[in-house]
Amino acid sequence: MIQFQYVKPSKPKAAIDTVAKDQSAVFIAGGTNLVDLMKRGVMNPEKLVDINKLPLRKIERENGNVRIGALALNGAVAEDKLVLEKHPLLAQALNAGASAQLRNMATVGGNMMQRVRCPYFYDTAMPCNKREPGTGCGALEGYNRMHAIFGHSDKCIAVNPSDMNVALVALDAVVLVSGPKGDRKIPFAEFHRLPGDTPQIHTNLQQGELIMAVDVPENPYTKNVNYLKVRDRNSYAFALVSVAAALDLDGSTIKSARLAMGGVAHKPWRLNEAEQFLAGKPATEATFRQAAQLAMRGAKAFEHNKFKLTLGPNTIVQALKNASGVA
Protein backbone atom coordinates (compact mmCIF):
# COMPACT_ATOMS: atom_id res chain seq x y z
CA MET A 1 0.00 0.00 0.00
CA ILE A 2 1.39 3.42 -0.87
CA GLN A 3 1.61 6.09 1.79
CA PHE A 4 -1.25 8.54 2.00
CA GLN A 5 -2.44 11.46 4.04
CA TYR A 6 -5.24 10.82 6.49
CA VAL A 7 -7.74 13.45 7.59
CA LYS A 8 -10.91 13.14 9.64
CA PRO A 9 -13.18 16.16 9.27
CA SER A 10 -16.21 16.59 11.52
CA LYS A 11 -18.40 18.58 9.10
CA PRO A 12 -19.77 17.26 5.78
CA LYS A 13 -18.77 20.50 4.04
CA ALA A 14 -15.12 20.11 5.02
CA ALA A 15 -15.10 16.51 3.79
CA ILE A 16 -16.78 17.44 0.50
CA ASP A 17 -14.50 20.44 -0.14
CA THR A 18 -11.39 18.34 0.47
CA VAL A 19 -12.34 15.68 -2.07
CA ALA A 20 -13.83 18.18 -4.54
CA LYS A 21 -10.52 20.07 -4.67
CA ASP A 22 -8.22 17.07 -4.86
CA GLN A 23 -8.51 14.43 -7.61
CA SER A 24 -6.26 12.06 -5.63
CA ALA A 25 -8.44 12.19 -2.49
CA VAL A 26 -11.23 9.72 -1.70
CA PHE A 27 -13.74 9.24 1.12
CA ILE A 28 -13.36 6.26 3.40
CA ALA A 29 -16.18 4.87 5.56
CA GLY A 30 -16.00 1.17 6.49
CA GLY A 31 -12.99 0.58 4.26
CA THR A 32 -13.83 -3.08 3.59
CA ASN A 33 -13.47 -2.63 -0.17
CA LEU A 34 -11.17 0.40 -0.40
CA VAL A 35 -8.46 -0.93 1.96
CA ASP A 36 -8.53 -4.23 0.08
CA LEU A 37 -8.09 -2.44 -3.28
CA MET A 38 -5.33 -0.23 -1.87
CA LYS A 39 -3.39 -3.23 -0.56
CA ARG A 40 -3.49 -4.70 -4.05
CA GLY A 41 -2.49 -1.44 -5.73
CA VAL A 42 -5.75 -1.26 -7.69
CA MET A 43 -6.61 2.06 -6.07
CA ASN A 44 -3.84 4.41 -4.96
CA PRO A 45 -5.37 7.52 -3.40
CA GLU A 46 -2.91 9.99 -1.91
CA LYS A 47 -5.40 11.31 0.62
CA LEU A 48 -8.07 9.50 2.62
CA VAL A 49 -10.92 11.55 4.02
CA ASP A 50 -12.39 9.54 6.90
CA ILE A 51 -16.08 10.46 7.15
CA ASN A 52 -16.85 8.46 10.30
CA LYS A 53 -17.18 11.59 12.45
CA LEU A 54 -20.07 12.87 10.33
CA PRO A 55 -23.55 12.42 11.83
CA LEU A 56 -24.91 10.07 9.16
CA ARG A 57 -25.76 6.91 11.10
CA LYS A 58 -29.47 7.33 11.84
CA ILE A 59 -32.29 5.16 10.55
CA GLU A 60 -35.55 7.09 10.85
CA ARG A 61 -38.99 7.82 9.40
CA GLU A 62 -39.03 10.85 7.13
CA ASN A 63 -42.18 11.86 5.21
CA GLY A 64 -43.36 8.29 4.70
CA ASN A 65 -39.87 7.16 3.77
CA VAL A 66 -37.45 5.15 5.81
CA ARG A 67 -34.33 7.29 5.70
CA ILE A 68 -31.11 5.34 6.20
CA GLY A 69 -27.97 7.36 6.93
CA ALA A 70 -25.03 6.69 4.63
CA LEU A 71 -22.89 5.57 7.58
CA ALA A 72 -25.46 3.13 9.01
CA LEU A 73 -23.72 -0.23 9.19
CA ASN A 74 -25.01 -3.07 7.00
CA GLY A 75 -25.43 -5.28 10.07
CA ALA A 76 -27.31 -2.59 11.99
CA VAL A 77 -29.68 -1.91 9.09
CA ALA A 78 -30.40 -5.63 8.63
CA GLU A 79 -31.49 -5.89 12.28
CA ASP A 80 -33.24 -2.53 12.58
CA LYS A 81 -36.88 -2.82 13.72
CA LEU A 82 -38.19 -0.18 11.33
CA VAL A 83 -36.40 -1.77 8.35
CA LEU A 84 -37.62 -5.26 9.30
CA GLU A 85 -41.19 -3.98 9.61
CA LYS A 86 -41.32 -1.79 6.48
CA HIS A 87 -38.71 -3.25 4.13
CA PRO A 88 -37.96 -6.88 5.04
CA LEU A 89 -36.62 -7.45 1.50
CA LEU A 90 -33.77 -5.02 2.22
CA ALA A 91 -32.95 -6.81 5.49
CA GLN A 92 -32.86 -10.18 3.69
CA ALA A 93 -30.56 -8.85 0.99
CA LEU A 94 -28.17 -7.31 3.52
CA ASN A 95 -27.99 -10.53 5.53
CA ALA A 96 -27.16 -12.45 2.34
CA GLY A 97 -24.07 -10.29 1.83
CA ALA A 98 -20.53 -10.84 3.11
CA SER A 99 -20.00 -12.11 6.68
CA ALA A 100 -21.08 -10.95 10.14
CA GLN A 101 -17.69 -9.26 10.62
CA LEU A 102 -17.86 -7.37 7.32
CA ARG A 103 -21.47 -6.32 7.92
CA ASN A 104 -20.29 -4.78 11.20
CA MET A 105 -17.83 -2.61 9.24
CA ALA A 106 -19.43 -1.92 5.87
CA THR A 107 -21.76 1.09 5.56
CA VAL A 108 -24.79 1.62 3.34
CA GLY A 109 -23.02 4.35 1.34
CA GLY A 110 -19.89 2.23 1.02
CA ASN A 111 -21.89 -0.77 -0.13
CA MET A 112 -23.31 1.36 -2.95
CA MET A 113 -19.80 2.45 -3.91
CA GLN A 114 -18.15 -0.97 -3.88
CA ARG A 115 -16.25 -1.79 -7.02
CA VAL A 116 -16.63 -4.83 -9.26
CA ARG A 117 -15.02 -8.11 -8.16
CA CYS A 118 -13.81 -9.03 -11.64
CA PRO A 119 -10.45 -10.82 -11.27
CA TYR A 120 -9.05 -8.83 -14.20
CA PHE A 121 -9.89 -5.59 -12.39
CA TYR A 122 -8.18 -6.87 -9.24
CA ASP A 123 -5.02 -8.17 -10.92
CA THR A 124 -2.83 -5.21 -11.88
CA ALA A 125 -0.84 -7.42 -14.27
CA MET A 126 -3.95 -7.97 -16.42
CA PRO A 127 -5.61 -5.70 -18.96
CA CYS A 128 -8.71 -3.90 -17.67
CA ASN A 129 -10.48 -0.92 -19.22
CA LYS A 130 -11.99 -0.05 -15.87
CA ARG A 131 -8.69 0.14 -14.01
CA GLU A 132 -6.62 1.39 -16.94
CA PRO A 133 -8.76 2.69 -19.82
CA GLY A 134 -7.61 1.53 -23.23
CA THR A 135 -5.81 -1.64 -22.10
CA GLY A 136 -8.68 -3.91 -23.13
CA CYS A 137 -11.02 -6.23 -21.27
CA GLY A 138 -9.33 -9.38 -20.01
CA ALA A 139 -12.61 -11.05 -19.17
CA LEU A 140 -14.18 -10.73 -22.63
CA GLU A 141 -12.15 -13.63 -24.04
CA GLY A 142 -10.89 -14.84 -20.67
CA TYR A 143 -12.42 -16.59 -17.67
CA ASN A 144 -15.83 -14.99 -17.49
CA ARG A 145 -17.91 -17.33 -15.36
CA MET A 146 -18.98 -14.64 -12.87
CA HIS A 147 -19.70 -12.02 -15.52
CA ALA A 148 -22.63 -10.12 -16.99
CA ILE A 149 -25.37 -11.33 -19.30
CA PHE A 150 -27.18 -7.97 -19.53
CA GLY A 151 -26.07 -4.46 -20.43
CA HIS A 152 -22.40 -5.28 -21.08
CA SER A 153 -20.19 -3.68 -23.70
CA ASP A 154 -17.05 -4.81 -25.50
CA LYS A 155 -15.14 -2.61 -23.03
CA CYS A 156 -16.33 -4.27 -19.80
CA ILE A 157 -18.45 -7.26 -18.78
CA ALA A 158 -18.06 -7.10 -14.99
CA VAL A 159 -21.04 -7.18 -12.60
CA ASN A 160 -21.99 -5.08 -9.60
CA PRO A 161 -21.35 -7.39 -6.61
CA SER A 162 -23.76 -5.86 -4.07
CA ASP A 163 -26.83 -7.64 -2.68
CA MET A 164 -28.16 -4.52 -0.96
CA ASN A 165 -28.24 -2.66 -4.29
CA VAL A 166 -30.55 -5.28 -5.80
CA ALA A 167 -33.13 -4.78 -3.05
CA LEU A 168 -32.80 -0.99 -3.13
CA VAL A 169 -33.36 -0.76 -6.89
CA ALA A 170 -36.41 -3.02 -6.59
CA LEU A 171 -37.82 -0.82 -3.81
CA ASP A 172 -37.43 2.46 -5.79
CA ALA A 173 -34.96 3.92 -3.31
CA VAL A 174 -33.62 7.45 -3.75
CA VAL A 175 -30.05 8.47 -2.99
CA LEU A 176 -29.51 11.79 -1.16
CA VAL A 177 -26.26 13.38 -2.22
CA SER A 178 -24.41 16.49 -1.10
CA GLY A 179 -21.68 18.05 -3.20
CA PRO A 180 -19.66 21.17 -3.93
CA LYS A 181 -22.57 22.50 -6.01
CA GLY A 182 -25.26 21.68 -3.44
CA ASP A 183 -27.65 18.84 -2.67
CA ARG A 184 -29.46 16.57 -5.10
CA LYS A 185 -31.48 13.35 -5.21
CA ILE A 186 -30.65 10.47 -7.53
CA PRO A 187 -33.18 7.68 -8.21
CA PHE A 188 -31.45 4.41 -7.31
CA ALA A 189 -31.82 3.01 -10.83
CA GLU A 190 -29.81 5.98 -12.13
CA PHE A 191 -27.07 5.88 -9.52
CA HIS A 192 -25.01 3.08 -11.08
CA ARG A 193 -24.02 2.99 -14.74
CA LEU A 194 -23.69 0.53 -17.56
CA PRO A 195 -20.08 0.25 -18.75
CA GLY A 196 -20.55 1.51 -22.34
CA ASP A 197 -17.33 3.11 -23.58
CA THR A 198 -16.40 4.47 -20.14
CA PRO A 199 -16.25 1.57 -17.69
CA GLN A 200 -13.74 3.56 -15.60
CA ILE A 201 -16.65 5.77 -14.45
CA HIS A 202 -18.27 3.71 -11.73
CA THR A 203 -21.31 5.75 -10.67
CA ASN A 204 -23.04 8.98 -11.60
CA LEU A 205 -21.56 10.81 -8.60
CA GLN A 206 -19.40 13.85 -9.40
CA GLN A 207 -15.98 14.44 -7.82
CA GLY A 208 -16.53 15.50 -4.21
CA GLU A 209 -20.17 14.42 -4.02
CA LEU A 210 -20.92 12.53 -0.82
CA ILE A 211 -23.79 10.13 -0.20
CA MET A 212 -25.69 11.42 2.84
CA ALA A 213 -28.60 8.95 3.05
CA VAL A 214 -30.89 6.61 1.14
CA ASP A 215 -34.67 7.02 1.23
CA VAL A 216 -36.81 3.93 0.82
CA PRO A 217 -40.39 5.01 0.07
CA GLU A 218 -43.43 3.50 1.76
CA ASN A 219 -44.68 0.46 -0.16
CA PRO A 220 -47.03 -2.51 0.27
CA TYR A 221 -44.18 -5.07 0.14
CA THR A 222 -43.96 -5.89 3.81
CA LYS A 223 -44.86 -9.57 3.74
CA ASN A 224 -44.51 -11.47 0.45
CA VAL A 225 -40.85 -10.85 -0.27
CA ASN A 226 -37.80 -12.98 -0.94
CA TYR A 227 -34.16 -12.30 -1.66
CA LEU A 228 -32.74 -15.46 -3.19
CA LYS A 229 -29.00 -15.66 -3.74
CA VAL A 230 -27.38 -18.52 -5.63
CA ARG A 231 -23.64 -18.91 -5.07
CA ASP A 232 -20.82 -21.44 -5.12
CA ARG A 233 -21.11 -22.08 -1.40
CA ASN A 234 -24.01 -21.61 0.96
CA SER A 235 -22.73 -18.46 2.62
CA TYR A 236 -20.01 -15.82 2.35
CA ALA A 237 -19.61 -15.77 -1.44
CA PHE A 238 -20.62 -13.38 -4.19
CA ALA A 239 -23.77 -14.14 -6.16
CA LEU A 240 -23.73 -16.10 -9.39
CA VAL A 241 -27.29 -14.88 -9.73
CA SER A 242 -29.57 -13.29 -7.15
CA VAL A 243 -33.19 -12.17 -7.29
CA ALA A 244 -35.11 -9.68 -5.17
CA ALA A 245 -38.82 -10.40 -5.44
CA ALA A 246 -41.64 -8.47 -3.76
CA LEU A 247 -45.35 -9.10 -4.28
CA ASP A 248 -48.50 -7.34 -3.16
CA LEU A 249 -51.13 -10.08 -3.13
CA ASP A 250 -54.91 -9.93 -2.99
CA GLY A 251 -55.72 -13.52 -2.15
CA SER A 252 -53.97 -15.39 -4.92
CA THR A 253 -53.97 -12.48 -7.36
CA ILE A 254 -50.90 -10.32 -7.79
CA LYS A 255 -51.82 -6.65 -7.38
CA SER A 256 -48.29 -5.48 -8.13
CA ALA A 257 -44.75 -6.83 -8.15
CA ARG A 258 -41.18 -5.60 -7.80
CA LEU A 259 -38.37 -7.64 -9.29
CA ALA A 260 -34.62 -7.14 -9.71
CA MET A 261 -31.56 -9.28 -10.33
CA GLY A 262 -27.99 -9.24 -9.10
CA GLY A 263 -24.88 -10.87 -10.52
CA VAL A 264 -26.03 -10.30 -14.09
CA ALA A 265 -25.11 -6.71 -14.99
CA HIS A 266 -22.81 -3.79 -14.26
CA LYS A 267 -25.65 -2.28 -12.21
CA PRO A 268 -28.46 -3.79 -10.14
CA TRP A 269 -30.83 -5.00 -12.85
CA ARG A 270 -34.48 -4.02 -12.49
CA LEU A 271 -36.98 -6.21 -14.38
CA ASN A 272 -39.69 -3.69 -15.30
CA GLU A 273 -41.30 -5.70 -18.08
CA ALA A 274 -41.69 -8.80 -15.95
CA GLU A 275 -43.17 -6.69 -13.13
CA GLN A 276 -45.80 -5.23 -15.46
CA PHE A 277 -46.62 -8.68 -16.77
CA LEU A 278 -47.19 -10.02 -13.25
CA ALA A 279 -49.65 -7.29 -12.23
CA GLY A 280 -53.22 -8.62 -12.21
CA LYS A 281 -52.17 -12.23 -12.87
CA PRO A 282 -52.72 -15.22 -10.57
CA ALA A 283 -49.77 -16.15 -8.38
CA THR A 284 -48.97 -19.49 -10.00
CA GLU A 285 -45.80 -21.17 -11.14
CA ALA A 286 -46.95 -20.88 -14.76
CA THR A 287 -47.26 -17.09 -14.40
CA PHE A 288 -43.86 -16.86 -12.73
CA ARG A 289 -42.28 -18.90 -15.52
CA GLN A 290 -43.69 -16.56 -18.18
CA ALA A 291 -42.46 -13.52 -16.26
CA ALA A 292 -39.01 -15.08 -16.00
CA GLN A 293 -38.91 -15.65 -19.75
CA LEU A 294 -39.78 -12.01 -20.33
CA ALA A 295 -37.07 -10.97 -17.89
CA MET A 296 -34.41 -12.90 -19.77
CA ARG A 297 -35.12 -11.30 -23.15
CA GLY A 298 -31.97 -9.73 -24.55
CA ALA A 299 -29.62 -11.72 -22.32
CA LYS A 300 -26.28 -12.52 -23.94
CA ALA A 301 -23.78 -14.85 -22.28
CA PHE A 302 -20.07 -15.52 -22.80
CA GLU A 303 -18.02 -18.70 -22.96
CA HIS A 304 -18.07 -19.56 -19.26
CA ASN A 305 -21.32 -18.04 -17.99
CA LYS A 306 -23.90 -19.60 -20.29
CA PHE A 307 -25.32 -21.39 -17.26
CA LYS A 308 -26.71 -18.02 -16.12
CA LEU A 309 -29.21 -18.14 -19.01
CA THR A 310 -30.83 -21.11 -17.26
CA LEU A 311 -29.99 -20.30 -13.66
CA GLY A 312 -31.40 -16.77 -14.08
CA PRO A 313 -35.00 -17.64 -14.95
CA ASN A 314 -35.03 -20.57 -12.53
CA THR A 315 -33.93 -18.27 -9.71
CA ILE A 316 -36.64 -15.75 -10.63
CA VAL A 317 -39.32 -18.46 -10.52
CA GLN A 318 -38.05 -19.82 -7.20
CA ALA A 319 -37.83 -16.36 -5.60
CA LEU A 320 -41.40 -15.59 -6.69
CA LYS A 321 -42.56 -18.94 -5.32
CA ASN A 322 -40.81 -18.25 -2.02
CA ALA A 323 -42.27 -14.75 -1.85
CA SER A 324 -45.84 -15.82 -2.65
CA GLY A 325 -45.85 -19.07 -0.70
CA VAL A 326 -46.92 -20.97 -3.85
CA ALA A 327 -45.55 -24.47 -3.44
Partner 1 sequence: MSSDKFPEKKLPEEENGPQHSDARRTFLKQSSLLTALALAPSAAIKAAELKFEEKVAAVFEQVKVTLGINGKKHKLSIEPRATLLDLLREQMHLTGTKKGCDYGQCGACTVHVDGQRVLSCLTLAAMVDGKEVTTIEGLANGDKLHPMQEAFIKHDGFQCGYCTPGQIMSAVACVREGHADSDEEIREYMSGNICRCGAYPNIVNAIKEVKNGGQRV
Q: Which of 10, 23, 101, 135 binds partner 1 (CB under 8 A)?
A: 101
Report if residue 162 touches partner 1, rule: CB under 8 A. Answer: no
Q: Which of 234, 297, 298, 327 binds partner 1 (CB under 8 A)?
A: 234
Report if residue 31 touches partner 1, rule: CB under 8 A. Answer: yes
Q: Measured in whole angstroms, how far is the alpha carbon of residue 221 from the centre of its chain? A: 19
Point out which span in 99-107, 161-169, 243-251, 277-285 binds partner 1 (CB under 8 A). Answer: 99-107
Q: In the beta sheet, which residues pair with residue 176?
A: 185, 213
Residue 21, number of CB atoms within 10 A of its CB: 11
Question: Residues 54 to 73: which contact partner 1 by CB under 8 A?
Answer: none
Nearer to partner 1, 132 or 218 (CB): 132
CB of 42 to partner 1, least distance (A): 11
Report if residue 125 touches partner 1, rule: CB under 8 A. Answer: no
Report if residue 326 touches partner 1, rule: CB under 8 A. Answer: no
Residues making up the chain, counted from first to last:
327
Point out which span in 39-47, 155-163, 176-184, 198-206 binds partner 1 (CB under 8 A). Answer: 39-47
Report if residue 28 touches partner 1, rule: CB under 8 A. Answer: yes
Nearer to partner 1, 36 or 172 (CB): 36
Distance from C-alpha of 183 to C-alpha of 178, rounded to nearest angstrom: 4
Cα-based distances in Å from 83 to 111, 163, 166? 17, 16, 16
Question: Residues 253 to 312: which contact partner 1 by CB under 8 A?
Answer: none
Neighbour order of strands in the sheet with 174-179:
59-62, 65-69, 210-216, 174-179, 182-187
Point out which span in 47-55, 58-66, 151-159, 216-224 binds partner 1 (CB under 8 A). Answer: 47-55
- Residue 99's contacts (CB-CB under 8 Å, 6 or more residues apart) are 235, 236
Report if residue 164 touches partner 1, rule: CB under 8 A. Answer: no
DSSP secondary structure string, 221-285? -SSEEEEEEE-SSSSSS--SEEEEEEEEEETTEEEEEEEEEESSSSS-EE-HHHHHHHTTSB--H
Nearer to partner 1, 76 or 249 (CB): 76
Helix (H, G, I), strand (E, B) or coil at 139: coil
DSSP letter, residue 287: H
- The residues of the shown chain that bind partner 1, judged by CB under 8 A, are 1-6, 8, 28, 31-32, 35-36, 38-40, 46, 48, 50, 52, 75, 98-102, 104-105, 234-236
